[in-house]
Amino acid sequence: MYKYDQYDDAMVRARVEDFRDQTRRRLEGKMTDDQFKPLRLKNGLYLQLHAYMLRIAIPYGTLNSTQLRKLAHIARTYDRGYGHFTTRQNIQFHWIKLEDAPNILGELADVEMHCIQTSGESIRNISADHYAGAAADEIMDPRPWAETLRQMTTFMPEFSYLPRKFKICVIAAEEDRAAMRWHDFGLRIVKNEAGEIGFEVYPGGGMGRTPFIAYKSSDFVPQHQIFSYLQAVLRVWNRHARRDNIHKQRMKILVHELGEEEFTRQVEEEFRHILTLGTDFPQAEYDRIAAYFTPPPFETGLPEEIDRSDPDFAVWIDQQIAPHKAPGYAIVNVSLKPIGGIGGDITAEQMEVVADLAERYSFDELRVAHTQNLVLPHVRKADLYAVWQQLRDAGLADANLDLVTDIIACPGLDYCSLANARSLPVAARIAERFADPAAQHDLGELKIKISGCINACGHHHAGHIGILGVDRKGTENYQLLLGGSGAEDVSQAKITGPGFDEAGVVDAVERAVNHYRTIREPGERFIDTYRRVGMEGFKEAIYG
Amino acid sequence: MADVLRFRDDAAADEPAVSLDAFLDQTNAVSVRIEAGDDVRRLAPVLDRLRLVEIDFPKFRDGRGFSSASILREMGYTGEIKATGDVLVDLIFFMRRCGFDSFAPNVPLDPADAEAALNRYPYVYQHAADAEVPIWQLRHPELANG
């Protein structure tokens, strides 16, 4: 994985000192919180209901064991002994003291981490396929491009104050495991007929209160022009977006208002101009970065067989393992969705267990998935049983990947000052309702996503079943949605009808699931059945 | 506190800036005032008589002026670009990189704060309107003369 050189290190440390100075001015009363707010937000520090929340970037979801151990140390020293992985492959700490924040940034810099541009109106941490570098189906590792773009989009002067946040995602497989088309700028690495690498570009996606799925603006941007193309997109948006209504300033709204064709035309015109400025990085710099992502020294001649004699292990294997590109290896998904627990939460002790496993069994590599789970990307099949035993002892061996209890949920009203309703208890109640492992397995892939307000951090628009918490005359109310997807079969979920209270929405989910079980055809997932029969039958089952 | 922080050696244009439409209508004006929504590319035919462009920031959250300055420099304009309005000291480093070379905010900047802000980052990651060499180029000195 990438290693900082003296330049990267100097930039991150300069940012720490910058923030230390800003924090000092705030604590000494030389700045109001109104003045401090845009500065702290550029560095991932939010003021929430009970305390400050610090969001730490995990570029393209890749971590090593040293970094995860540092996060465990931060959880213990500055927070309440745990952290929360987010739907953007980042980690958040929810109980931070302002005066500690500069020191935390300093500790992060020691392990090549930062909070730069993890919030505010900026180009956010770039997300990527969490199986990158390991997936059997990728055409190349997308992370060298994500790292190159990370550097080029750090402190980009022209885009110091974008109309709103801007999210980039890079994948390199047909299967979309990163919700690429729900980003402002989605990239899929492709090869053309001549065998050259380039990008399919999908701008204009986003969730929030006005969801849009990104459209394809180009079939092939040559690889060494992608930074120019990105600048063209940013410039068209920065110059022409509305600035009078914060809810209408995301790029997806401009794309919608101009129309895809006109937006593409303006981008292409600007792109032709920006290409003449020669701001793209050279092949030599790409090669320098890509060298850090050389595949680890996989052993050859390893056995493919897995001893399945322990039935609990066999269940876990069947659910949590994905195919690896190297023979004898597997990708291990570590569930952070225990029944009755809080999805995405992890204790300092659990972080250390996973860090040890990564170091010992996975070439010191770890990934964070946008589904709020962890991944050990390169595990020998022969080691799976040992890995499983250690995960089990740490309470991390749930076998529910992509099943009904693998629920994405935002922190909601338990933490967030924007939320209208709690998401975590709803997720916990649903998971308890479907806790039986055999029943979960029988239902198959079923993605439930819960947001506590219309900002949609819990991705409810992309849920096979989505739940949106709203405020209805001062009480928490939940709308139910069906038919969304964040995968390659991307679609936007639709509201079923009137909302429910907390107990009511859990019952409604159960009725929808039972209806699916009754009418499904062999091999159909929930989403397939919904697409085949449409909303009406489900509506009847839900509302009676 | 200085009312104007200026990074140029030439004499400042002493004529008040006029709106973009007025500037394009006159043949002898040398100073233009760009509002946040104005298209600076309209100035392309008259760049040779232009000495001062004032770019206004109605609120610091409105970043359109960063693109306006960058585009002016890309067009080859070498005269003064002055940031006016709601200009925060924490943003002037990036403004300098976009080609701004004077600052006359509503609330005057403390020169010491400005000095510190301008020198905070030792390197830059990308090309901009200034002469700074991006990090990728520092990493590959062999490419400098190629």
**Considering only CA atoms, which of A304, A339, A335, A306 is closest in space to residue A319?**
A335
Tens-digit pLDDT profile for residues A447-505: 999 999 999 999 999 999 999 999 999 999 999 999 999 999 999 999 999 999 999 99
Q: Measuring CA to CA, how many Å separate A63 from each of A16, A69, A354?
A: 20, 10, 11
Lookup: tokens for A241: 């977006």
Calpha distance A37→A418 (Å, rounded): 15
> Measured between CB atoms, which of A14, A151, A160 is closest to B63?
A160
B145 domain-assigned: no
B22 domain-assigned: yes
Q: Angle, to 10 degrees, between the axis of helix A226-240 and the axis of helix A260-275?
A: 120
**Considering only CA atoms, which of A539, A536, A526 is closest in space to residue A483?**
A526
The position carrying tokens 């269940």 is A315
For chain A, say whether B35 makes contact (Cβ under 8 Å).
no
Residue B2: predicted pLDDT: 59
Distance from CA of B137 to the nearest CA of A (A): 8
The reply to whether domains A142-291 and A408-543 share a CATH topology is yes
Q: Which chain A residues are within 8 Å of B139, Cβ to Cβ?
A: 5, 7, 285, 288
Calpha distance A439→A175 (Å, rounded): 27
Residue A415: predicted pLDDT: 87
Residue B142: predicted pLDDT: 86
DSSP of A30-50: SS-HHHHHHHHHTTTEEE-SS
CA dihedral B3, B7, B9, B13 (to 10 degrees): -50
Give alpha helix (H) positions in B10-79: 20-25, 64-74
Architecture of domain A6-110: Alpha-Beta Complex (3.90)
Calpha distance A32→A38 (Å, rounded): 11
Which helix or strand (DSSP H or E) is residue A518 part of?
helix A502-519
Tens-digit pLDDT profile for residues B78-105: 999 999 999 988 889 999 999 999 999 9
Calpha distance A159→A429 (Å, rounded): 43
Q: Which chain A residues are within 8 Å of B94, Cβ to Cβ?
A: 155, 157, 160
Strands A52-56 and A185-191 come out as unpaired
What residues in chain B have per-residue pLDDT under 50? 146
The position carrying tokens 């055809």 is A521
Tens-digit pLDDT profile for residues A321-378: 999 999 999 999 999 999 988 999 999 999 999 999 999 999 999 999 999 999 999 9
Q: Which amino acid is at B82?
A: K
Residue A431: predicted pLDDT: 96
Residue A365, classed as helix, strand or coil, is strand
**Considering only CA atoms, which of B138, B133, B136, B132 is closest in space to residue A288?**
B136
Residue A38: predicted pLDDT: 82
Q: What angle do CA A323, A60, A129 make, to 5 degrees?
A: 30
Q: Which amino acid is at A174?
A: E
**pTM, 2 dp:** 0.96
B116 domain-assigned: yes
Residue B146: predicted pLDDT: 47
Pick the CATH number of A311-393 from 3.40.50.12780, 3.40.190.10, 3.30.70.3340, 3.20.20.70: 3.30.70.3340
Superfamily the domain A408-543 falls into: Sulfite Reductase Hemoprotein, domain 1 (3.30.413.10)
What residues in chain A have per-residue pLDDT under 50? none
> Measured between CB atoms, which of A7, A151, A278 is closest to B138?
A7
Contact assignment for A273 to B95 by CB distance below 8 Å:
no
Identify the DSSP state of A57. Answer: -
B35 domain-assigned: yes
Cβ atoms of residues A130 and A143 within 8 Å: no
ipTM for the whole predicted complex goes beyond 0.95: yes
Contact assignment for A17 to B120 by CB distance below 8 Å:
yes
Calpha distance B30→B19 (Å, rounded): 11
Q: Which chain A residues are within 8 Å of B142, Cβ to Cβ?
A: 284
**Considering only CA atoms, which of A120, A38, A157, A148 is closest in space to residue B121?**
A157
CATH T-level topology, domain A142-291:
Sulfite Reductase Hemoprotein; domain 1 (3.30.413)
Q: Which chain B residues are within 8 Å of A18, Cβ to Cβ?
A: 120-121
Backbone angles phi, psi at A193, to 5 degrees: -65, -25
> Measured between CB atoms, which of B97, B123, B135 is closest to A157?
B97
Residue A195, classed as helix, strand or coil, is coil
Calpha distance B53→B31 (Å, rounded): 6
B127 domain-assigned: no
Cβ atoms of residues B18 and B31 within 8 Å: yes
Calpha distance A517→A493 (Å, rounded): 20
Lookup: tokens for A264: 């593409």
**Considering only CA atoms, which of B73, B46, A21, A480 is closest in space to residue B55?**
B73
Contact assignment for B91 to A160 by CB distance below 8 Å:
yes
Q: Measuring CA to CA, how many Å separate B47 from each of A91, A430, A481, B14, B24?
A: 49, 65, 56, 18, 11
Structural domain span for residue B45: 5-121
Number of folded domains in chain B? 1
Calpha distance A428→B133 (Å, rounded): 52
- Which sign, positive or negative, has the C-alpha torsion A511, A514, A515, A516? positive
Domain boundaries along the sequence of chain A: 6-110, 142-291, 311-393, 408-543
Calpha distance A423→A409 (Å, rounded): 6
Distance from CA of B1 to the nearest CA of A (A): 16
Calpha distance A148→A90 (Å, rounded): 19
Identify the DSSP state of A461. Answer: G
B28 domain-assigned: yes
Contact assignment for B139 to A10 by CB distance below 8 Å:
no
What is the domain-level CATH number for residue B59? Answer: 3.20.20.70
Distance from CA of A159 to the nearest CA of B (A): 7
Mention every residue, 6+ apart, whose C-beta is less than 8 A from residue A260: A204, A215, A217
